Structure 1
Amino acid sequence: MSKLSSKASTATREYQDIDVRFNRELLGEQKRRTDKMLKAQEEYALSTQEGYDGDPRFPLQAYTEAKHELEEFLESIRDEFAVIRVVELPPHQWQAVKARNPLSEDKSLWSVLDHRYGVDAYATTKAALELSALEVDGEETEQPTPEVWQNVFANIGYGDLSALVIAQFTINEIVYSGGYTAAKKARRRPSPVPRRPPRHRARPLTPHPLGVGARSRRTGVLARGSGSHARRPRQAGADVPTRSSVR
Structure 2
Amino acid sequence: MILVDQVVLTVSNYSASFIQDFVMDPESSKLSLDNHEDFVLAIMWYIEHSFVMALNLINKRTTTLESHLNQATHNAELFRIMSYQKSLIRFKAALQQNGPTLDAIESSVGYFTAAHHQSLTADIKIETQQARDMTDTTNQILQQYSQLVGSVISNNLNDVMKFLTSLTMVLTIPTIIGGIYGMNVKLPGASLVHAFTWIMAGTIVLCIISIEYLRNHDYF
Q: Bin the TM-score by the shorter chain.
A: under 0.3
Instruction: Write 1 or 2 for the structure with the bigger share of helix.
Output: 2
Structure 1 length-normalised TM? 0.26
- Larger RCO, structure (CA 8 Å, separation 6 or more): 2
